[in-house]
Amino acid sequence: MKKVNLILLLAFLMFSKNQAQTFDEVSFLHNLKTSYYLLINQPVENFVVKITSAKLDAFT
């Protein structure tokens, strides 16, 4: 349950209103979903790193 709450918190923080207009939401959501499935077999710290890189990759 803690992992789910962490995921929701990270997703909320990354969709703040002050993001640039070039943010590719579809790409970010795809990377978020992929990282969520990988979370089952890895520590939370690795998940945070993957989400951060997914957010950066979503900018064009």
pLDDT of res. 17: 52
Higher pLDDT, 26 or 17: 26
Q: Which amino acid is at 25?
A: E
Contact call for residues 8 and 49 (beta carbons, < 8 A): no
Rounded mean pLDDT of 6-24? 63
**Other CB atoms within 10 A of residue 41 CB:** 7
Instruction: Name the band, by pLDDT with cuts 50, 70 and 90, for residue 2.
Output: low
pLDDT tens digits for range 18-48: 555 556 777 777 777 776 666 666 666 666 6
Read off φ and ψ for residue 16, nearest 5 degrees. -65, 155
